[in-house]
Amino acid sequence: MIRYLTAGESHGEALVGIVEGMPAGVPVTASYLDGHLARRWLGFGRGGRARIEQDRIHVYSGIRFGRTMGSPVALRLDNAAYLRDRSGWPEVMSVEATDEPVEKITLPRPGHADLAGVQKYGFDDIRPVIDRSSARETAMRVACCSVARRLLEEFGIEVGSHVVRIGNVSAGDPAPAVDRLIREGGARALYGEADRSEVRMLDSDASRRAIEHIVETRENGDSLGGVYEVVVTGVPPGLGSYVHWDRRLDGLLAQAILSIQAQKGVEIGDGVAAAGLPGSQVHDEILPGLSRRSNRAGGVEGGVSNGMPIVVRGYMKPIPTLIRPLGTVDLRTGEAQPTRYERSDVTSVPAASTVAEATVAMVIANAFLQKYGGDSLDEIRGRYEREREAGP
């Protein structure tokens, strides 16, 4: 079982992470992790921070000569925003008590964690809530989960994603392009193609319209959400289980998506549409050789992978920080006030899709280790190959 923890505030000095439970012998390099971190910054519609941060991972333990050692992998990512704004932020998020006057933030933004956070922890300043609830944390999550993702790649399991909707602009039916790309090069070809679009869409006409929509929305001082699809290829049948609720792969995938800030819906395969269709148009017929005529189930039946690509959609709400103010209440005075604007994205759906790839990879890696696990890559490979040869 691979576990990971992240710590760090958005405007603190750094984010740190620990990945525990990785088998020994898995090739992992800092540049591999940096590659996935760079993909998290992709996307038209990101705010000022995207231009400031240049994530470079520092690896402190758990990897020797480019391979994991089975010991915890400790990671650090500096917050360039902290270093650049050095004059302001160290006092604002100072670890030591400070005599400097620090302005309190007392206008909670609707849709963000601000009000719920101060109510929960009893703060009279929203800053600590903003700093930890912010999606800057997802950078370390991508780094930690990418360590596990590297294990999957050793077994030909790839995770990719693409954006299917931003605001009211939808890509046309993406299925033919997704099928072609995964036939050509698995989920890696899928994410390679999506990364070429500024909004990570496979449909160039929809990409152009989505960019126009983002520009218009920014001019109106508003924000957008959207939908993306994560696809995992090369998954063997038999990951997860129907025998207990917390071993169901679909349940674990849903948690992985909803654990990401601002993700409010999840769908496996045809999920939402399937609820309105007769069974004959939903279930995937089984063909001789145990292949399927279709993959509407999204690769999971009974909480178990069925050997088809796993397809998970995530639904992201619009970003809560708007240039155009919304109504709120000043926590200091109790009076109605407009919200105040802080540096923010107009939409982060392309970025969220790459974070979702990472969190999905961690779920698949753990399900894989539950079935084929061992202390080293060689041990796992031996088990995997034996079972795959013997399997149906």
Ligand X SMILES: Cc1cc2nc3c(=O)[nH]c(=O)nc-3n(C[C@H](O)[C@H](O)[C@H](O)COP(=O)(O)O)c2cc1C
Please tell me whether residue 355 binds ligand X under the rule CB under 6 A: yes
> What's the min distance (Å) between Cβ of 182 and ligand X?
25
Quick one: how many helices (H) and strands (E) in the chain?
13, 18
Crossing angle (nearest 10°) for helices 349-372 and 377-390: 80
Please tell me whether residue 118 binds ligand X under the rule CB under 6 A: no
Which DSSP helix (H) or strand (E) runs through 34?
A: helix 30-40
> What's the min distance (Å) between Cβ of 145 and ligand X?
14
Reference 109, options 290, 318, 376, 265; nearest CA is 318
Please tell me whether residue 37 binds ligand X under the rule CB under 6 A: no
Size of the site for ligand X (CB under 6 A): 20
Among 47, 128, 185, 251, binds ligand X (CB under 6 A): 47
Please tell me whether residue 260 binds ligand X under the rule CB under 6 A: yes
Question: Is residue 389 exposed (0-12), middle (13-18) or buried (19+ Cβ within 10 Å)?
Answer: exposed
Please tell me whether residue 224 binds ligand X under the rule CB under 6 A: no
Give residue 7's identity as a one-letter amino acid code. Answer: A
Residue with smaller CB distance to ligand X, 147 or 355: 355
Please tell me whether residue 127 binds ligand X under the rule CB under 6 A: no
Please tell me whether residue 295 binds ligand X under the rule CB under 6 A: no
Among 55, 250, 301, 345, binds ligand X (CB under 6 A): 345
Angle subtended at Cα 138 by Cα 16 and Cα 29, rounded to the nearest 5 degrees:
60
> What's the min distance (Å) between Cβ of 184 and ligand X?
28
* Torsion-angle region of 303 (φ positive above 0: left; ψ -120 to 50: alpha; else: beta): left
Among 10, 79, 134, 170, binds ligand X (CB under 6 A): 134
Among 19, 135, 274, 304, binds ligand X (CB under 6 A): 135
Strands 300-301 and 304-305 turn out to be antiparallel
- Cβ atoms of 291 and 345 closer than 8 Å: no
Among 112, 248, 296, 313, binds ligand X (CB under 6 A): 112
Please tell me whether residue 9 binds ligand X under the rule CB under 6 A: no
Crossing angle (nearest 10°) for helices 249-258 and 349-372: 150
Among 339, 344, 353, 359, binds ligand X (CB under 6 A): 344
Applying CB under 6 A, which residues contact ligand X?
47, 112-113, 133-135, 138, 260-262, 317, 319-321, 344-345, 348, 351-352, 355
